[in-house]
Amino acid sequence: MKSLLISMAIFISLPCLGKTIEIMSYNVENLFDIVHDEGKNDWTFLPTKTKGKKEACDKVKSSYRKKECHETDWAKDNLEVKIENITKMVRRDGKLPAILALSEIENERVISQLAKFIGYKKFAVSDSPDKRGIDLAVLWNETEDVKFLSKKEHVLKGEYFKDRPTRNILEVEFQIGKKEKLTVFVNHWPSLSNPTEARIIAAKTLAKRTKEILKKNKNQNIMAMGDFNTIDENYPHPFKSVLYKDDLYKDLHTTFKKDKSISYNVKDQMAPGTYFYGRGMTWNLLDRIFFTNNLTNNSGLEIDIASYQIYAPSFATRTYEYRSKGKYLYGSTIKGTPFRYEHNSTSNRRAGYSDHFPLIVNLKY
């Protein structure tokens, strides 16, 4: 009887990993509302009839961006189609991710509209100093297994950002299950048109806050996700020189690829990247999910490496053709690239989805 009780105690004390939650990270490509925000350069994604739009577009220096600003008539019907197409990407098999992290959204107003349509009752939105008004969001539904705890924002500071303010890093903490805590950082780092130093500052900001959390609670589960706008050629490299230092973070994509228990065929069938750069005919992994060691130490909340995927359904892809005449790549085609969004379209089939593919992973507890 005594040995039976001991066995039962051991069994009860073992972590129960019978439940899962799904997390999705998605750059939705310019989800703007149709109202001008004072002080923001959101003129491109407004209705043509908006007072002041023509004059604002005339001031755009880039000929390409000026043309885009004048020709984009972003109105109610266009926005509704975009929300419907985002919903098609996010709501898979009739289910929503437990936690949805979005980048390249404008504000709380448009996220409120998206959340209502898509089926989320709770959301958190950043309030960044970015001149275009670009921000980040996290959406979820409060359940017994997913409970909101707190929200913070982290501004990227430094001389470089005095004249070029950018997106904040959004931090949201959840309770998962009865006792596990999870901190989610949503990122949209400065674009590749900015020097690498700008992304180094972003990496240091993220790393500093992560260390603060772990110093307070070494068992805290932490994930960082979003559009990091970082490629292998960046030097010094924001991941290698900052995030990977002292084994602070691990990259989910790399971990997945190195896991020998996962079939080569499964890995081979995955899209080669989340973003396709047409001018260079190259794939990039601009979107990433990073995680701390606590999520792989078999002591509670656990990241399911095998569940990771770059979600690229056929309806959200297209064949890209290189059309620059006189270039040696002229006429070359690549299948399966992101079906980027056409903001003037009012047809769901023709409008597309985004120039990025989303990332998905499950957590077990």
Which stretches of the chain score pLDDT less than 50?
Answer: 2-15
Measured at the CA of 187, the angle between CA 186 and CA 189, to 5 degrees, comes to 175
Residue 354 and residue 302 in contact, taking contact as beta carbons nearer than 8 Å: no
Residues with Cβ < 8 Å from 48, sequence gap 6 or more?
Answer: 73, 75
pLDDT digit string, tens, across residues 183-196: 999 999 999 999 99
Residue 306 and residue 262 in contact, taking contact as beta carbons nearer than 8 Å: yes
d(CA 246, CA 253): 19
What pLDDT is recorded for position 17? 61
What pLDDT is recorded for position 6? 44
d(CA 286, CA 232): 10
d(CA 234, CA 192): 9
89: part of which helix (H) or strand (E)?
helix 76-90
Instruction: Supply 308's token pair.
Output: 């990771």
d(CA 183, CA 149): 9
d(CA 349, CA 357): 17
Instruction: Supply 118's token pair.
Output: 């898509």
What b/e string do you get for 303-315 counting C-beta neighbours within 10 Å, with b at 16 or more? Answer: bebeebbbbbeee
Instruction: Supply 277's token pair.
Output: 């750069």
What pLDDT is recorded for position 330? 87
- Which amino acid is residue 108, in one-letter code? E
Query: Is this prediction's pTM over 0.85?
Result: yes
d(CA 97, CA 86): 13
In angstroms, how far apart are the furthest CA atoms of the chain? 85
pLDDT digit string, tens, across residues 201-259: 999 999 999 999 999 999 999 999 999 999 999 999 999 999 999 999 999 999 999 99
